[in-house]
Structure 1
Amino acid sequence: MATIANCKIEVAHTNPGINVRLTARQGECPGIEYLDVELSAATPTRPAPITLRWELPVVDMHQRTCANAQTKLCGMGRPRTQCSAAHEAPVWSMFNYAGKNRMTFAVADAINTCELSDQHAEETACLTCRIDLFMDPVPPLTAYRTTVRFDTRPLPYEDALRDVGDWWAAMPAYTPAPVPEHARLPMYSSWYSFHLGITPEVIEHQCRLAKAIGMDSVIVDDGWQTDDKQRGYAYCGDWEAAPGKFPDFRAHVDRVHAMGMKYLLWFSVPFVGIHTKAYARFKDKFLNPPIPTDTKKREWFTLDPRFPDVREYLIGVYERCLREFDLDGFKLDFVDCFTTCETTKDAFGDGRDIQSVPEAADRLLTDVIARLRAIKPEIMIEFRQSYIGPAMRKYGNIFRVGDEPNNAAGNRVGSMLLRALSGNTAIHSDMVMWHPRDTVESAAMQLLHAVFTVPQISVLLDKIPENHLAMIRHYLAFWRDHRDVLLDGRIHPHQPQHAYPAVVSENDAKVAGAAYANGFIPLPDVKDRELILINGTLENRLAIELPTAIGRRRVRIFTCTGETVMDAICEWNAGLHGLEVPSAGTAILSCCQ
């Protein structure tokens, strides 16, 4: 037993021969504490799950957040988050309605599978918090150590989470991959526009249009490897260009490069379909092998990365495609499907050189990024929520919001969750899309609710109205002009319990604030910095509160297509102010010379 933040941490397990020692130690400042968890065994032993448990009074504590959109703190049930190398991140932050941190805890071991959970006791109004280690099988061990970081400082919850991300990033095991400049620039994606119906001609046509309005890369998604247009992954695994669609893939990539655009290509990393040569080769090396009595007649299966030849095959595929096609990046999808399966989780040996699936996934992805960077140091690697933990930052340099087609609010929420923990990794929106008959203000919501990320766009640019194109052109230029604060600033996502109705980001020169609900933006002390206001609502007004006067400012207000509706000099005192900003419009308050 150990005591952290006045809570007694107990340990429970059913591992004869394994000794578990807990050691509490003070951190670098008051409110930061560490719990070292050490296991020892006289002979190599495979540990069953080990539980750390403590009681936490629910005092001035109302919500929680983590790497996904779970917010429930109390009530019925036991909210839980399961994490491993390729799934989620082992951190919870609990805070009050003012956004002040009450307890944030995180586990150093982000490779092996653990589970974070709590359960509310009605009799005591306390939470029973739990961390369950070794939720998936690991090799026999004689020693093991990890650390749990506790933060009870009464600071904004986003600062507590940011510090956790920095703590992980400082560990040699999780050194983040470098981020090339093109990973931080707007991109076009084929997926929502075409799904599997892609050809060189349609991709190249959209690229010409996309480049002209401010996009610098294209991500070509599923469909390049098969002539089949049925959804699913039955034709994944060989990763050869479909001859009926792409008779000369390298020439196609060369034409896109000649337009000044980078080229990223999609792969479903773990899947092998029944209509591929790879299926016959690896049919005995799946995590979820075919079952003769299976009535669902599955058409694709998940490779087992514990086999060295499986890992080498996948890496070899990516090396071959990088060299043959002269790619600039990879969209590596479905990495979170490298999970244990009941039928194979205890299958060791028989050619496997690693016993743990998360450890094998880590080995695969570590080698992927190392060998691809050896060929092209500026290679871009995109991963999607929910494979966005600290280990994933060392393999990839782009994290994208999970699939949120035509869902501005989903993009907003997902992007704030990613921004909280991901440091300088390039955070991308899910591909924004909308109906071509939508109003331009409504269409602009898709971009504005993702404005604190690198925008990805997936609409047919030759099928939308001219004012939609003008809106995209205007907002991509606006985003580039203010990327230093929108993407790189210190971000303050307000009220996650209400899906972030306002978001503020700041740096030494600028403050940017966006309203997504009632038009109100709470601001820090602006001082002599430029103030950028974004109306992410369908109302024609914004309200701000200035803590101190900012004096005479040039006020420019724009519509979502870039027309100026106001350009005047105004005096700004401390207090509440209303501004007539068009729906989906922006206002810029600049210091007068």
Structure 2
Amino acid sequence: MLLDHFKDMLHEGQSLGATWIMHSDGLTIETTCEDGPASKGIVFDVTAANPGATATIVIGKPLGSIQRFHMVGSRCREPLPADWAGVTQVSLVNSAPMGCMVDDADRNVLSFAYSFAQDEITMRYGVDEEHVLFVVMLQIQRVPGHSRLLLMDDGLPLDETMRLLVEWVADGSAPLPMADKALEPVFSTWYAYLQNVDAETLGRELDGMSRLGCGSIFIDDGWQQYGSGRGYSGCGDWVPDPVKFPDMRATVRRFQDAGVGVVLWIAPLLLGEKAHVFKTLERYAPIHDDGLGRQFHVLDPRRKAVRDYIGGVCARMAKDYGIAGLKIDFLEQAGAYQGQPLENPEPGDVTDVGEAMRLMLERIKTMLIENCGQVPVVEFRQPYSSPVIAPYSNIVRASDCPADALTNRIRTIDERLAAGNRVVHGDMLLWDVNAGAETCAAQILASFFAVPQISVPPSAMSNGQYESCRFLLSLWRKHRNVLLNGRLQPVSSILGYPLVHAFDGNGTQVSGVYAPDMIIDVDADTRTLIILNASTENNVTIRLRGDGGTVKLTGHAYDCTGAITMQFEEDTDTFRENGDATITTIPVPTYGILELALER
């Protein structure tokens, strides 16, 4: 449908095997002598005769074995949408102009990336039913004079393909250094209290969250003055509510003394009419959003006065309160100004929203580094997933999915594939405090290959839930290096990753089982094997591959609270001839853990 609708404005261009490129008037697309990442793929030069004009690039591929289209920052509702349904407004703060068409084994059939990832692009994609193709159309709002397009069709696994695409789009940009607190479990106030948060309540929970192993507390929406009622009419001043937090610096110091860093939520582009600064900044926030009672104006980041104000606010918060960093939200609101005229420009204003956001984020980054006294924690959330925005945060969190363990797992693994040097956090974990300990374990295990964020007050948990949380977070901290820094190998993106592995290269393997009938492949050279049984079965099955020698397996199975349920010891023969292997089924409770040592 897309091709037939736009064919009169498109010209045939370059090709890569059976893949072809078409483009609109005014563009020239030529192959270059530049190798793609790791010498994979082909890079094309894109030259525009009229920089700043609109332009279109279309990539087409015979459907062949394509089973799913993988994007950055979000998922299509269908693995393969129709081309009249697949559309995403790509920008600096929403997704990225890149993607991967994979087969049923998650091998790359065709992947692409476009270098101009800062400005807004309408990305259309899907199955062209008339021509039995998968089509991607990039409708560029303001094409640059020169840009590049990468195509790869090498059959690499999805995880490796995404790593290469991310490196190519990032183009060597320096990441924000990693903050130590970004690598520790978090207690988040959002689902626990929503906006009904205060220093006294949090102080009562400090010991409980500290004993759970939380290295920081993210104080979400509600700490700021007028932060109540689920609306944003008080946003803009970013000062503490004098009743809820009468002495924010003292509160921060109390948590710091217990080894728990404090990160504050901020939505820098929101301006509410109750804010004291509203009259001053109102003229820079002409767009108003009152949907669902949200009640805020959107500051225009193209204005230098706005960027200066926001930078000053972040510097003041870091310096005056002694916080570890910021949880930055609602950046996508900048898109409201895309295509809008900039009236009565002042010195330092810029016309492009993408460039304005880059300048604003650079300003925030500089102010935090200068005033935090340490490497700051900076959290973004999906869909702020572009490699181009990565230098401005060191955390990217799965977007909100309260109590939805399946969605949290899928989003964290998706994000791991695109995060580059950033660490991925799961969405805040919520469960019913009247349910069993397994309910708590299900949520934690779903975000085990990311940094867990707990959002149930420790004092509200049952004894079983607390013990489960403590045990699993302790296990997570013990194996944090392989979970976060090891080679991630997720299985079957089209099924939502029912099996996920991580390897550290030194003999440790952690495998998460999230569905029945999964078989975990284990090399006989493995030394430590950790299996998370997040399925409905009371056992796990491993397939041991080796050279025909004998491997001794010893270890324990635990229930979700850490109680030992079984001691295991077995000598197992291994085989590699003809692909044969030894299969062993071991009893492990649902939402339990198996720890094994392997010895030749």
Query: Could you state the TM-score of these two structures normalised by the residue count of structure 1?
Result: 0.92
How far 1:75 sits from its partner (Å)? 4.0
Name the SS for the 1:338 alignment partner.
helix
How far 1:442 sits from its partner (Å)? 2.1
Provide the C-alpha distance between the structure 2 equivalents of 1:497 and 1:82, rounded to a whole number of angstroms: 23
- Residue in structure 2 matched with residue 347 of structure 1 by the alignment: 342
- Residue in structure 2 matched with residue 46 of structure 1 by the alignment: 52
| 1:228-247 superposed matches below 5 A | 229-247=228-246
- Residue in structure 1 matched with residue 330 of structure 2 by the alignment: 334
Query: Does residue 460 of structure 1 match 2:457?
Result: yes
Provide the C-alpha distance between the structure 1 equivalents of 2:291 and 2:455, rounded to a whole number of angstroms: 37
| 1:323-402 superposed matches below 5 A | 323-341=319-337, 345-351=340-346, 353-375=349-371, 376-402=373-399
1:103 to 110, 127, 130: 110
Kindly tell me: are residues 397 and 191 of structure 1, through their superposed partners in 2, closer, same or farther at Cα, counting changes over 3 Å? same
- Residue in structure 1 matched with residue 595 of structure 2 by the alignment: 588
Name the SS for the 1:472 alignment partner.
helix
- Residue in structure 2 matched with residue 425 of structure 1 by the alignment: 422
2:276 partner amino acid: K
| 1:560-571 superposed matches below 5 A | 560-571=560-571
Kindly tell me: are residues 585 and 314 of structure 1, through their superposed partners in 2, closer, same or farther at Cα, counting changes over 3 Å? same
Provide the C-alpha distance between the structure 2 equivalents of 1:271 and 1:211, rounded to a whole number of angstroms: 33
Moved more, 54-63 or 114-123: 114-123
Say if 1:432 and 1:457, in contact at 8 Å, map to a contact too.
yes
| 1:266-320 Cα deviation digits (max 9, x unpaired) | 1112100111122211222126258xxx999872011001110100001100101
1:518 to 516, 538, 563: 516
How far 1:159 sits from its partner (Å)? 1.0
2:114 partner amino acid: V
| 1:290-309 superposed matches below 5 A | 299-309=295-305
| 1:442-591 superposed matches below 5 A | 442-508=439-505, 509-523=507-521, 525-548=523-546, 551-572=551-572, 573=574, 574-591=581-598
- Residue in structure 2 matched with residue 2 of structure 1 by the alignment: 14
Kindly tell me: are residues 57 and 584 of structure 1, through their superposed partners in 2, closer, same or farther at Cα, counting changes over 3 Å? same
Say if 1:504 and 1:523, in contact at 8 Å, map to a contact too.
no
Name the SS for the 2:94 alignment partner.
coil
1:57 partner amino acid: P
Provide the C-alpha distance between the structure 2 equivalents of 1:23 and 1:403, rounded to a whole number of angstroms: 42
Query: Does residue 165 of structure 1 match 2:174?
Result: no
Kindly tell me: are residues 525 and 89 of structure 1, through their superposed partners in 2, closer, same or farther at Cα, counting changes over 3 Å? farther
Kindly tell me: are residues 589 and 94 of structure 1, through their superposed partners in 2, closer, same or farther at Cα, counting changes over 3 Å? same
Structure 1 unpaired stretches of 5+: none
Name the SS for the 2:472 alignment partner.
helix
- Residue in structure 1 matched with residue 151 of structure 2 by the alignment: 150
Kindly tell me: are residues 287 and 94 of structure 1, through their superposed partners in 2, closer, same or farther at Cα, counting changes over 3 Å? farther
- Residue in structure 2 matched with residue 261 of structure 1 by the alignment: 260
Say if 2:522 and 2:542, in contact at 8 Å, map to a contact too.
no
Provide the C-alpha distance between the structure 1 equivalents of 2:292 and 2:257, rounded to a whole number of angstroms: 46
User: How many residue pairs get matched?
Assistant: 573
Say if 2:230 and 2:294, in contact at 8 Å, map to a contact too.
no
Name the SS for the 2:440 alignment partner.
helix
Provide the C-alpha distance between the structure 2 equivalents of 1:124 and 1:86, rounded to a whole number of angstroms: 33
Name the SS for the 1:451 alignment partner.
coil
Say if 2:337 and 2:353, in contact at 8 Å, map to a contact too.
no
1:447 partner amino acid: I
2:87 to 64, 73, 80: 80
Instruction: Report % sequence identity.
Output: 27
1:250 partner amino acid: R
- Residue in structure 2 matched with residue 66 of structure 1 by the alignment: 71
Provide the C-alpha distance between the structure 1 equivalents of 2:480 and 2:593, rounded to a whole number of angstroms: 15
2:42 partner amino acid: E
Say if 1:287 and 1:340, in contact at 8 Å, map to a contact too.
no
Provide the C-alpha distance between the structure 2 equivalents of 1:215 and 1:244, rounded to a whole number of angstroms: 26
How far 1:25 sits from its partner (Å)? 4.6
- Residue in structure 2 matched with residue 12 of structure 1 by the alignment: 24
Say if 1:26 and 1:32, in contact at 8 Å, map to a contact too.
no
Kindly tell me: are residues 592 and 306 of structure 1, through their superposed partners in 2, closer, same or farther at Cα, counting changes over 3 Å? same
- Residue in structure 2 matched with residue 22 of structure 1 by the alignment: 30
Name the SS for the 2:402 alignment partner.
coil
How far 1:465 sits from its partner (Å)? 0.8
